[in-house]
Structure 1
């Protein structure tokens, strides 16, 4: 009777079902385990020729497949950064070092003694290496090979700050001294590192330009000598040379350097810091001149006579600093109707109804832009009224000149006034006794000399051009940093103007790396301001660091293996590879929660996590088994029931057989 065989197949199938359920239950706590499911198929024996299936009894059941359920298990977090879980589809690829490649979802990895990342059974986790530029290399064994982070010299500094606009530069000490806080406006420091990882500090001092000019006096021998000018010409009979330009007595007219002389032109090209109109010679043994208000300092300004270089003796100490802006004040006689007020060549007609002081002051103020446009040397023109000693309203005219103009000739001093003032053709006298005849250099408010010092001792080269006669490269010293007085934003750095919306030029710092003279640091002052609020640092960052030791490894969601070092640096050492298959159900289980590829599964396609269909990576996490214990217990009941039912089939067939034998 075929029924015996049929019942036996049912017993075998039920036993297999119980075995699969038992295996699932046994692995309910196995990391990365995927539950299996028993799939059955019926058995029918068919004849080549004969009746159809309607009158053919089945031959039992067979186990057609033990299919794996690859749905994701619950991700559980741990305290080990080398525990990895895939949040989504994909498998880790493992290599046993002998050509055997398997795939797993169990991410409980560890480091072996050589620093390789391995599974619990010693197989190597596969991933992409990275070159120095971060480009991916071919897939290989992932390892933590970088045990320390070498030091890096500082090459970039970002510094943004606010300097208080309310600070009064006129209160600064006349002579700058890095150790005297009263001689500069504000200071801040930043730490940097040299090529060996030693930490240093760079101190920045900002000294706002004082509203004064520096007057320099030199005693010269008066004995004529020959000097070669920077342009190669020879000045015979020179009594002195200034910045390499020979000055002869014939170059002076009325005690001042003649603007038509060759020396005048040569000196204007050799040293732009000098106000040429102030260069004077007393005919005996003294040469003097003023530096423009925009000059940062005297620096290495070279003055020589026939004996060699001479020292600045500053004999006129009381005149060493004078107000940089000349302000002329005129007490105007009122112009009558149909007469003209003339200011620096700009005529202002006085019409009917404009005969009062108030009206004439309005007329003058209305022409300020015209006057300033015609004469760039004039900074402002302002007319106001006052009551004289007789109780009559009068007009006071105040003309302020730009600081770089220096002393402006006038008729009183025997010169020719380039900006005469007249009323109805009558020249007006300057009211020198007015307390505003000289005023501070407001045009240079917001102009700062910036100094930098290594460890507060050595002055650094931050781009200051060498003084005329000393060379053409840069040297240690201050540079000029300027702010726009109307909006408080940076307007110029070291002679480079900054247009709105353009990149702020960087400052090159040399000599800040005692271990390597070739190291240069780019200092970026983007975002610095001059507002009327406390002087503070808004941001300061630099890219150098000291040596560091490995303190841990973490993984990013996109698979990068990041090494962390004690110096605060992180370095990507590689990228975990994730394998995907066209038919993951075709993978063959190989034990240890691993699978091998088969013809049914197809070849593995490797990509970083988070690309294509691959899931992302979770560090310090493990994927738990996806076994549903409740479902498996039900399957045990079903398997037991099926086994008992098939046993009953055997028992019944045995009874029938015994009955037949007893006939």
Structure 2
């Protein structure tokens, strides 16, 4: 009996060393979670009312428990390196199967899909087209190298001060080539339906009426409608047009592009004393853009950035949590699978519920504490030696008994 008891101690110490060595070997593995060997004592006829004189039969390995403590976040400055700061797992699709991982060293394959080193495709909630995301379904994250399409300008917003003491222009009628026929001018670049840049010029001419001006708009040297009357009250605030909006007639540009339909937003134009000043000229169009890179927010929103200053949302990273992560099935390669013991997958977005945040340009390091593991190694080694010594002692006792009659 004592031999088998000590042998169980040897086996337990060996299992403890196996777990410890596995932890130490993965001390630098991204997203790795260390394990802990847990042991239980052994009694013959356990559960049948053992007396206080019952002698145990040794030890057994009760289980190897995964430790899902947070590892340190190390920054890499690579946009597709992702770390989860807090609870939750990144979700990957391997064909029809889903796996879960804390290792976010990602890249793109030849088709533009964002994958981990094992080829699993990162799962996101797709954009719904209304500045939101469809959290009811998962989709492979794919990065396209296609150009960002242009958008024609539809509105020009102006923040301008017109001098209150201005005189009526000396020359009539208005002539864009004669500076004496208008008071002030400014211009802004606008875009047609093909993304080609056009120049929109605004000309301001004071009338004989107090606080009244004429505004003319020209695109690429062509008049867009006739003069528009704008007027200010005694406080220098715009009073005409009501609401500060002027819808110009459609302007034919030719060259196979749509007519340009502009609205002037003039609510920020004032008439104060002092000089003519342009504080802001804004327009909502843009040209064709080439992708310059990816950006991932702390909420896990993946956006493609383009040379035209636009950002296109590609999806929002799906994080998954479990009621009992320690019950996940170990798949290897720092991946886990859902199991009966883990409970069903609970999906959401970063920062919601108990889910953590996404750190882009960073990786979560292994949570193994090397100092602790080395101390555990020494303890397991001493335990192994003590049990080996017990076997030697038992052998000596047995030899003594066998030699009594000699």
> What displacement does 1:135 show?
4.3
Aligned 8 A contact 1:95 1:101 in 2 = yes
Secondary structure in 2 matching 1:136: coil
Equivalent runs, 1:411-430 vs 2, <5 Å: none
Which ranges of structure 1 fall in alignment gaps of 5 or more residues?
Answer: 212-443, 462-476
2:102 corresponding residue in structure 1 = 105
Equivalent runs, 1:194-343 vs 2, <5 Å: 194-209=192-207, 211=208
Calculate the TM-score normalised by the size of structure 2.
Answer: 0.95
1:161 corresponding residue in structure 2 = 160
1:130 corresponding residue in structure 2 = 127
1:657 maps onto 2:405 in alignment: no
Aligned 8 A contact 1:512 1:520 in 2 = no
Deviations for 1:301-323, whole angstroms, at most 9, x for unmatched residues?
A: xxxxxxxxxxxxxxxxxxxxxxx
Which ranges of structure 2 fall in alignment gaps of 5 or more residues?
Answer: none
2:227 corresponding residue in structure 1 = 478
1:510 maps onto 2:250 in alignment: yes
Distance, in Å, in 2 between the alignment partners of 1:521 and 1:196 is 16
Secondary structure in 1 matching 2:378: helix
Q: Alpha carbons of 1:48 and 1:481: their partners in 2 closer, same or farther (altered >3 Å)?
A: closer
2:235 corresponding residue in structure 1 = 487
Distance, in Å, in 2 between the alignment partners of 1:582 and 1:512 is 63
Distance, in Å, in 2 between the alignment partners of 1:119 and 1:48 is 48
Aligned 8 A contact 1:483 1:490 in 2 = yes
Distance, in Å, in 2 between the alignment partners of 1:547 and 1:135 is 24
Secondary structure in 2 matching 1:573: strand
How many residues of Structure 1 are paired with residues of Structure 2 in the alignment?
A: 401
Aligned 8 A contact 2:193 2:258 in 1 = no
Equivalent runs, 1:70-149 vs 2, <5 Å: 70-97=68-95, 99-137=96-134, 138-145=137-144, 147-149=146-148
Deviations for 1:257-290, whole angstroms, at most 9, x for unmatched residues?
A: xxxxxxxxxxxxxxxxxxxxxxxxxxxxxxxxxx
1:185 maps onto 2:183 in alignment: yes
1:551 corresponding residue in structure 2 = 292
Distance, in Å, in 1 between the alignment partners of 2:246 and 2:299 is 35
Equivalent runs, 1:383-532 vs 2, <5 Å: 444-455=209-220, 457-461=221-225, 477-484=226-233, 486-493=234-241, 498=242, 503-511=243-251, 513-514=253-254, 515-532=256-273
Calculate the TM-score normalised by the size of structure 1.
Answer: 0.59
Secondary structure in 2 matching 1:610: coil
Q: Alpha carbons of 1:179 and 1:47: their partners in 2 closer, same or farther (altered >3 Å)?
A: closer
Equivalent runs, 1:513-662 vs 2, <5 Å: 513-514=253-254, 515-662=256-403
Q: Alpha carbons of 1:650 and 1:578: their partners in 2 closer, same or farther (altered >3 Å)?
A: same
RMSD over aligned CA atoms reads: 1.7
> What displacement does 1:536 show?
1.3
Deviations for 1:197-230, whole angstroms, at most 9, x for unmatched residues?
A: 1100100000000x3xxxxxxxxxxxxxxxxxxx
Distance, in Å, in 2 between the alignment partners of 1:506 and 1:186 is 19
Structure with higher Rg: it is: 1
> What displacement does 1:446 show?
1.9
Secondary structure in 1 matching 2:231: strand
